[in-house]
Structure 1
Amino acid sequence: MPPSNAFRWFPLALTAALLTGCTVVESSPGSTAPAPESGEVGQAADLLSDLTVAAPRSMKGYSRDRFPHWRSAGKNCDVRDTVLERDGDKVKLSGCNVVAGTWTSVYDGDVLTSPTKVDIDHMVPLANAWRSGADRWTDDERGDFANDLDRPQLLAVSASSNRSKGDQDPSTWKPAEKSSWCTYAQDWIEVKSFWKLSVTEKEKDSLDEMLGTC
């Protein structure tokens, strides 16, 4: 069962102004996030050591529909709009729908100038979560996981990098931008730790290697 209590993952700060009938949101691109402090790296290493190591579970019964997303965020908007607004720079809104902005994909460094070019990646892919223990959850609990805005589970990235990643774990896929490996590993570990998902031996070794780049 997933945990019932959440600690808060704070998104990038947003400031809003009115311009030509649309709201312009100024925010720092995700790629400019400061390097983690050594204590944070140590905490990630401790969390990694506590994760359950297990072989992947069966994919029997899996479907993306078992992880309902994207949930409504009100006013005809959804969680996807929320992540686009949070992770973008100079974002323009029509109502609460994101219609323009700039996004820097931390996976490959691509700069994207249209929301239609942006994918919202699940840090821990849905199929990986299923193999790691989410097969035992209810669909409502899987929906909480798929729409989790309180941890670094959702990230605006290039469509090409997201589709290259697919449902792979860090033992078989890492971001092309090696400078993002440290943060990627910490985020992956934080999500798996909070949701009490298992890791494979190779996955754990790869995460430890990526923390070594911090």
Structure 2
Amino acid sequence: MIGSGSVPNYDRGAWNHWVDADNDCQNTRAEVLIAQSLAPVTFTTSSNCTVLSGRWYDPYTNAYFTIAHDLDVDHFVPLGNAHSAGGSDWAPERKRDYANSLSDVDHLIAVSLSANRSKGNRAPDEWMPPNRSYWCEYAYDWIRIKTAWGLAATQTEWAALQTMTATCPAGFTYANAAGGAAARPATPGAVEPTATSSIPNLPSLAAPVVSGVGATFASVTLPAKPAGFDNYGNQFYVKLFTAADATSGEIVLGGWVYAATPWGTLQATSNTALQVSTTYWARFWLRDSLGREVLSDATSFTTLAMPALPTLTAPVVSKIGGTFASVTLPANLAGFDNYGNQFYAKLFTAADASSGESVLGGWAYAATPWGTLQATSNTALLPGTTYWARFWLRDNFGRTVLSDAASFTTLGSPLPGVPPLDAPVVTAVLPDNVTVRWPAKPAWFDDATMTEVTLMACPTAEFPCNWLGTP
């Protein structure tokens, strides 16, 4: 039975555990908790899938437990140990069978969270149960399970097992252990659950208050925090349903980790737009750390019909040059913030907006700089050309609207002449550099096509010259 040699790295995910082999919604953990409870169990919900409470004896710590949340189901010979003792070569099906075996009452055993996590994947040479009176039986169970599955033991592991069997009381025979540790009488002095181990009732949740309703959204005010439930709450959601009995059309209006829930605040839909002219039922939903759930009564509301598109007035063309024009954007459109998607100022070379489109400025609706002066940037206009300016809007329903047009003609040829430039004023001369003062900005020339002013240094009255700088 002594094993040695190298094995591949252990991957817990390769041991498919806690399956629902008989498709009754109770996975292997639930099956073990039900089988090993010394009293009838209760479940977290009416579907009877997840165990809530019962009465279990943990031989590792010689203590009783009544809340399933306080227990782990331990692989008596841990998966990691089975892997290193020969299981690494098993086929995936055999690994799954080992991880979920219910054929041996000691193969999987309900024990305290702390004891199981202290044990981890360690063999008896590294970990023994705190309850020394259980050592004898623990060693024999370990040997039996390893033998049944053809798993090896190291020399130090075998020596530790011999140490444990040496604690067996006089007259002990292994047949006395039949039936599983959880079903056997506890060692004298077994610890009973404390009063704090009782399970609190789920809080009662009032129906939501729907504070605002639009065509594609609704606002719901969260309740005050349930009193005395901070240590048990896990999640809190606001949910909408398209069925009064909460059986269909679920949408999450907002969801939080319980401790981060913004109690008493106003929360509105964000990720999912609601359908227009549709009735919804709003409910609060809570899950606690024991896996129980509660759904509040419902508040119904009907979203508004699709709003009319706003009327856009023709743009005000505020300034015209040879190659550009400035347009002042309108004030924010009242009551349309929740429905607007994009807003553009467009130019066309045709009065009916059928050709020559260019974008003077475009924004996501929420970022539109309402009421400000906007000028062309990416596309220079043609001198002496007539354009028609229009505002354009798209809403969240995909509808678009184009305003009436305001026409204008850019300045034509001849374009403004190049302004005269005075000779530079040299303010300082040093051996290796010179300082020159820039002139005042030429009046009225911003409206024309000037793109650059450059300072040149020429060794003679003729070219070539050297570039000194551009402001």
Name 2:15's counterpart in structure 1. Answer: 67
Normalised to the residue count of structure 2, the TM-score between the two structures is 0.33
Per-residue Cα deviation, 1:167-192 (whole angstroms, up to 9, x for no partner):
10001100000111111111111110
1:177 aligns with 2:126: no
Report which of the two structures shows the higher radius of gyration computed on alpha carbons.
2
Correspondent of 1:79 among 13, 18, 28: 28
Amino acid at match of 2:13: D
Q: Residue 91 of structure 1: CA displacement?
A: 2.8
Within the candidate set 38, 61, 74, 1:108 is matched to 61
Q: How many residues align?
A: 162
Shift of 1:66: 0.9
Matched residue type, 2:92: D
Contact (CA 8 Å) 2:42, 2:54: kept in 1 or not?
no
Equivalent pair of 1:57/1:130 in contact (CA under 8 Å)? no
For 2:75, which of 99, 111, 122 is the aligned residue?
A: 122
Distance apart, 1:98 and its partner CA: 2.1
Cα contact 1:57–1:132 (8 A) shared by 2: no
Q: Equivalents in 2 of 1:122, 1:92: separation in Å?
A: 21
Mind listing any 5+ residue stretches in structure 2 that lack a counterpart?
169-471
Distance 2:80 2:114 in 1: 19
Secondary structure of the equivalent of 1:207? helix
What is the aligned partner in structure 1 of residue 161 from structure 2? 207
Aligned position for 1:39: none
CA distance in 2, matches of 1:98, 1:206: 36
Distance 1:100 1:107, change over 3 A: same
RMSD: 1.4
Does the Cα contact within 8 Å between 2:78 and 2:121 map onto a contact in 1?
Answer: yes
Moved more, 104-113 or 182-191: 104-113
Q: Please state whether the residue corresponding to 2:39 is helix, strand or coil.
A: strand
Deviates more, 1:129-138 or 1:99-108: 99-108
Residues 6-37 of structure 1 deviation map (CA, whole Å, 9 limit, x = unaligned) = xxxxxxxxxxxxxxxxxxxxxxxxxxxxxxxx
**Deviation at 1:96?**
5.1
User: What are the equivalent positions in structure 2 for 1:1-214 lying under 5 Å apart?
Assistant: 52-55=1-4, 57-60=6-9, 62-72=10-20, 73-94=22-43, 95=48, 97-151=50-104, 152-214=106-168
Which deviates more, 102-111 or 141-150? 102-111
| Cα distance in 2 between the residues matched to 1:124 and 1:56 | 19
Structure 1: gaps (5+ residues): 1-51
The 10-residue stretch of structure 1 (130-139 or 87-96) with the greater mean CA deviation from structure 2:
87-96
CA drift of 1:122 comes to 0.5
In the alignment, is the contact (CA less than 8 A) between 1:132 and 1:197 conserved in 2? Answer: yes
Residue 55 of structure 1 deviates from its aligned partner by: 2.3
User: What's the offset of the Cα at 1:82?
Assistant: 1.1
1:111 is paired with a residue of what secondary structure? strand
- Kept after mapping to 2: 8 A contact 1:56/1:132: no
Relative to total residues, which structure has the larger helix share, 1 or 2? 1
Query: Aligned equivalents of 2:100 and 2:8: distance in 1?
Result: 21
The code of the aligned residue for 2:113 comes to A
CA distance in 1, matches of 2:115, 2:68: 15
- Displacement, 1:76? 0.9
Higher mean C-alpha displacement, 130-139 vs 72-81: 72-81
Instruction: Tell me if the contact between 1:119 and 1:159 (Cα under 8 Å) persists in the aligned partners.
Output: yes
CA distance in 1, matches of 2:137, 2:102: 17
C-alpha deviations, 1:121-158, integer Å up to 9, x for none?
A: 00111111110000100111101111111122100000
AA of the residue aligned to 2:131: E
Is this contact kept in 2: 1:56–1:200, CA < 8 A? no
Amino acid at match of 1:71: V
Partners of 2:16 and 2:96 within 8 A in 1: yes
- Cα separation, 1, equivalents of 2:6 and 2:120: 18
TM-score (norm: length of structure 1): 0.72
Alpha-carbon shift at residue 57 of structure 1 (Å): 3.5
The structure where strand makes up a greater share of residues is 2
In the TM superposition, residue 105 of structure 1 has moved relative to its aligned partner by: 1.1
Q: Distance in 2 between matches of 1:148 and 1:136?
A: 18
Deviation at residue 59 of structure 1 after TM alignment: 4.1
Please tell me whether the aligned partners of residues 15 and 95 of structure 2 are also in contact (alpha carbons under 8 angstroms).
yes
SS at match of 2:123: coil
